[in-house]
Structure 1
Amino acid sequence: MGVLQRISEQPRVPIGRITFHLQTSIYRKKGGEYEKVREYLKIGETKDIYGVNGDYIEIQDGLYIRNMDEHQYTMTFGELIVQGANVKSCSKNGIILRKLRPGLILRVVSLKFISNDVTVYGINEKEFISSDEEVQYVMGIFEFDADSTVLKNGQTIKFKKGDTAPYQRVDGHNLLLLDGTWLDISRLNGSFHGL
């Protein structure tokens, strides 16, 4: 469910994913206006999100949906992996709600940037985890569409078609991988997948 990237293009990276709980109309932007197309998104279908423009959410393949009641869909913005033994979730007011076990993987349903160094991840409507905790944020996955050889930390690493590289952040043609190293994808063909 990704979008094929070409070397010369700036990568188009999904900011999240959306799953629909109701059959949903699809729109296409034509001449600056949104017009409804004949197809619909089915109940349970999931698409990558590329942006929000007023009342419209851009999904895969240059299509849009009209912003709807939040109970009609589930939107996620990556995952958190609990790494430390003392990670706690808190309420909006900072009250500790529970201790989380290491290895637990949680979907991120909201992001709030407090400063350049601190982000607060919402894991549901009532629980939040700070990036100050021992957690690993996973924004998405880059899937290799061809066998590739890359240089990483001065070593040559081979990837086969279909291999994936989970990443925390994208900066131009560079992916910040989970191990803290950067991967230059400017000469690679692959697709991005939201989580």
Structure 2
Amino acid sequence: MDELRQLVEAYVPYNEQEERDRELILEQIDSERDILTRNNKNAHITVSGWVVSPDRKKVLMAYHNIYRSWAWLGGHADGDEDVRRVIKKEIQEESGLTEVKFLSDELFSLEILTVDGHEKRGEYVSSHLHLNVTFLLEGDTEAPLAVKPDENSRVGWIPADEIESRCSEPWFAERIYSKLCEKVKGI
């Protein structure tokens, strides 16, 4: 957990949301048990990838079955402290994309995400928090893609200027995806 804590501690927040969420994530890392696994029913670590095209104009997203919305790729740490390995695995599982390049060794974003109660694989999952860290990666828009039917029904490269209109989760569109698109423009 030391490497994760160092990544979060070294991260320079982009805005007030990230500043406040960074403080809380560090508090959770220091005080909670099992935050790398779903055994912590209140909050646990997740990893997302903001996968951009080489020209930075498109983002690889999947149409998420539970949330019925286009969403970034990512998932639970499930006990793995190597969050870079986790996101590479999640990207491959959720999109079929086998080759991605980290555009930085540092985190690109962080956020605390609320997850409403829902059914997953026939079982109810109570509302909880995802203590999320995000990496910026690049992928080949010509590489073959594949859905992961138990999680998503479509995968594709979405033009950055269309993300807000394709996302049916207003908070994500306005607070997270727009922030990530804005940050990419600055690179």
Shorter chain as normaliser: what TM range?
under 0.3
- With structure 2 as the length reference, what TM-score do the two structures score? 0.25
Larger Rg over CA atoms: 1
Q: Which has the higher helix share?
A: 2
- With structure 1 as the length reference, what TM-score do the two structures score? 0.24
Q: Identify which of structures 1 and 2 has the higher relative contact order when contacts are C-alpha pairs closer than 8 Å and 6+ apart.
A: 2
